Amino acid sequence: MKRANESLVGAVVLGAIAVLVAGSIWLSQMRVGGTDQVASARFRSIGGLKTGSPVLLRGVRIGRVTAVALGEQNWVNVELTIRADITVPQRPAAVISSTTLFGDWAVDLVTDENLPNDPEIIRQIAEARRAGGDRWPGATLPDIGELTAQAGRIAGDLAMIADRVEDAFDSTSAARLRSAFLDLSNLSRRLSQIATRQQEALIRIGDNLDTGTASLARTAQSLERTVRRADSATNRDQLARILGHTDSITGDLQAVAANLRGLTGAASAQQAALARIIANTDSVLARVNAGEGTIGMLSRDSTLYTESVGAVRDLRQMLQDMRANPRRYFSFSVF
């Protein structure tokens, strides 16, 4: 019975040792029955990368970080262990980035064609490649904390811009607007003067036409008397036709004179309406010049235009950078 208990205890101990060895192999990600590839990359800084961090290729885990050491010329040398069945791309580069919000970092293998569109990343890769040797060039993206701080600074800048926009009601642009209103008022006055002069000219033309029509009427009467006197010596039918044409011409001239009188009356009516519009416009512009109302308050400051243009330019640059480099601002991982 005692020997059976000792055999059972021995079996339990051997099973525990086997489980411990298997767990150690799994935790250390050792490969049994295969030879892993070993490579080295150099970085100026590695952020939160540490031994055991994953190595990724197109988002798939292919290895892990096995060693981190400080090398010559203040380079940080990172040793990478990659599975033997993985084909590493030509001229690879290593980019360290934060993969989660909890401080997990990873090394992502990329080619020169797939580098992030980030001037800082491109500069770091070029600097590491110039160092020469067999080590892969590397670069490090900013972590979530830096992105959050940058976002906080951007939010602060936006708040400052909003405050400046709120205080920009007394601006040169508002003064220019007031000047534009004054120019409009001057233009209205000039139009009123031109309309007045044209009305006077039309009145003179109408008077001249009335005078001419009266003269023509008197001429026609004289001609009619002359024709009547000559009626005994000429054909009565011909003289009657001539007089009929003369009367028709006189009627046409009188109709023209009546139309001109109507045109003069319409111009007078439009002049009164235009005068009322100009008077109302002058009243509004007087209030603007006195600083009354919203437009009057807007006509006192010049900062609104300059700050608004700067804000729109900064926002457009930020949006373009976010579209071109989304991973600089957002980097999330489920696992």
129: closest CA among 75, 197, 194? 75
Q: Is residue 325 part of a domain?
A: no
Residues 199 and 137 in one domain: no
Residues 93 and 198 in one domain: no
Q: Is residue 127 part of a domain?
A: yes
| pLDDT for residue 61 | 92
Residues 196 and 122 in one domain: no
SS3 for 59?
Answer: coil
Q: Is residue 4 part of a domain?
A: no
pTM of the predicted model as reported, rounded to 2 decimal places? 0.37
Residues 193 and 237 in one domain: yes
How many angstroms separate the first and last alpha carbons of the chain?
A: 51
Distances (CA, A) of 307 to 85, 110, 173, 296: 58, 41, 11, 20
Alpha helical stretches, state H, 29-143: 119-130
Residues 135 and 177 in one domain: no
Q: Is residue 16 part of a domain?
A: no
DSSP string, 167-188: TTTBSHHHHHHHHHHHHHHHHH
| pLDDT for residue 264 | 75
Q: Is residue 152 part of a domain?
A: no
| pLDDT for residue 203 | 81
Residues 296 and 195 in one domain: yes
Residues 196 and 259 in one domain: yes
Q: Is residue 50 part of a domain?
A: yes
State which residues form the domain around 259: 172-301
CATH of the domain at 214: 1.10.287
Q: Is residue 125 part of a domain?
A: yes
Q: Which of 141, 161, 191 is the last residue of a domain?
A: 141
Distances (CA, A) of 282 to 74, 186, 272, 334: 75, 10, 15, 68
Residues 123 and 189 in one domain: no
Ranges of the chain with pLDDT below 50: 28, 30-33, 145-146, 149, 169
Residues 96 and 39 in one domain: yes
Residues 225 and 107 in one domain: no
Q: Which of 141, 161, 183 is the last residue of a domain?
A: 141
Residues 97 and 216 in one domain: no
Residues 104 and 197 in one domain: no
Q: How many domains does the chain have?
A: 2
- How buried is residue 43: exposed, middle or buried, by Cβ count under 10 Å (0-12/13-18/19+)? buried
Say which residue the tokens 């409009």 belong to: 184
Q: Is residue 261 part of a domain?
A: yes
